[in-house]
Amino acid sequence: MPRSPAYALLCSLLCVFAYAAPAAVPLSPPASGSISAAQPSSTVPFIKEDPNEVLPPAAIMQPIRGSLGSNIIGPDNQPIDQQNPDLLAPPTTDQGTVGNAKWPFSLSHNRLQTGGWARQQNVAVLPMATAMAGVNMRLEAGAVRELHWHKTSEWAYVIKGHTQVTAINPDGQNFLATVGPGDLWYFPPGIPHSLQATNDSADGSEFLLVFDNGDFSEDSTFLLTDWLAHTPLSVLAKNFQVNQDALTKLPAQQLYIFPDAPPPSDAKAPANPLGQVSSPFTFAFSKVKATQYSGGTAKIVDTSSFKVSDTIAAAEVTVEPGAMRELHWHPTQDEWTFFLGGQGRVTLFASSGNSRTFNYQAGDVGYVPASFGHYVENIGNSTLHFLEIFNTDRFQDVSLSQWLALTPPELVKAHLQISDDTFNHFNKTKQVVVGPRSS
């Protein structure tokens, strides 16, 4: 049967494409006795070999990375540039749109009181942080954060000094304890409590508060003095079964933070016929032994160890210079991060080709939405120290290296076009904090 000119043209084109198709890209030879994965043709370009390391410090930071970018010839805020080199000159791997994931407490409005101060972070300043909000608070020795309660849970980490906390539960059982650096307290929603710095340290105390709602505002606290100041005096007298004259010196407005004599170091909760709370509102996290890894340490607290804290779980992590918190993600919960010391670098992978890199210093808040892949790299010369905090009762994370190590090797090698030797570097146990690669 005679063939049409169109058929002949089609055959010619197929021959051209066949000769132009890329050859299969060979993998490194498999180790002796091992089974090698399939060797597929490359369907996309190979990864760029530029390491995209953090830019070295310079007297004047410029938005230049390799051959990309140019210098600034207009106004510039160099102190901000120095703290955020990966925003000024992003790695070439950054792409797309990822919202801001950094808020320095230094940019928060500070509420100054006689005896202390408080500054907060919530969605008003960090819109991404919808699941949690934070407050950094300072009390001089003896100063009191007055009796109050919240609609949200309150989780706290003591940064410096000692703080005495008091509370009662709905059953009328009471509680009193003193916590020191690295220790925690937690009050469920609606539980009335107070905070007072002791004189164990002449400086009093400073602590971090975390609330399980990004809309939380410290200015919306239910305060004892605020409530009484807005209740008729006759009603107060009737409620407490006293004459009105006995209440005429009540404050006309909230106290919030006020000075007072330091509590005694051996203070105990008032005797109570109903007894003390069954689950303590404090936890000696400072006494929990951290797990040592090749690049640092980590320890976890959740309801498995601190039973009352059923909406907040946390990890305290240290990363040595040159090391990193391994590539990982948290399956269902956002991460609210607070940096206690050192300098860190984090890249958020938001799927669909979107990623962005941020730099953090002590006093900064970071935020990682649920399931975003990320790492935390120490880019300074001292130990990086931070808290990972989650709105959940149990800590969870997924390790990239462990996932790959526990997936059939042939499947992983077909994806990544790596050798058996490279695959064998993936670890079947979580490394958590990975040290620098040995030469």
- Identify the segments of the chain with pLDDT beneath 50: 1-3, 5-35, 37
* C-alpha triplet 436, 437, 439: angle, nearest 5°: 125
Asked if residue 328 belongs to a known ligand binding site, the reply is yes
- Report the C-alpha gap between 135 and 114 in whole angstroms: 18
- Report the C-alpha gap between 127 and 142 in whole angstroms: 35
pLDDT of residue 201: 87
- Report the C-alpha gap between 122 and 132 in whole angstroms: 7
pLDDT of residue 4: 52
Asked if residue 335 belongs to a known ligand binding site, the reply is yes
Contact, 179 vs 282, CB < 8 A? yes
- Report the C-alpha gap between 262 and 255 in whole angstroms: 17
Closest to 326 measured CA to CA, from 398, 386, 384? 398
Q: Hey, what domains does the chain have and what are their CATH numbers?
A: 107-283 (2.60.120.10), 290-434 (2.60.120.10)
- Report the C-alpha gap between 192 and 150 in whole angstroms: 8
Closest to 40 measured CA to CA, from 407, 412, 401? 412
Asked if residue 109 belongs to a known ligand binding site, the reply is no
pLDDT of residue 278: 94
- Report the C-alpha gap between 417 and 270 in whole angstroms: 68
Contact, 359 vs 53, CB < 8 A? no
Residues paired with residue 378 on neighbouring β-strands, in sequence order: 344
Q: What φ, ψ does residue 234 adopt, rounded to 5°? A: -65, -35
Q: Tokens standing for 406?
A: 């526990």
Closest to 203 measured CA to CA, from 266, 262, 155, 287? 262
Q: What φ, ψ does residue 306 adopt, rounded to 5°? A: -120, 85
User: Does residue 377 carry a catalytic annotation?
Assistant: no
Asked if residue 193 belongs to a known ligand binding site, the reply is yes
- Residue tagged active-site, from 140, 146, 326, 388: 388
pLDDT of residue 40: 56
Asked if residue 415 belongs to a known ligand binding site, the reply is no
Q: What end-to-end distance do the CA atoms of the chain give, in Å?
A: 69
pLDDT of residue 31: 44
- For 95, the 3-state DSSP assignment is strand
* C-alpha triplet 291, 294, 299: angle, nearest 5°: 20
The string of pLDDT tens digits covering residues 204-258 is: 999 999 999 999 999 999 999 999 999 999 999 999 999 999 999 999 999 999 9
User: Please, what's the largest Cα pairwise distance for the chain?
Assistant: 117
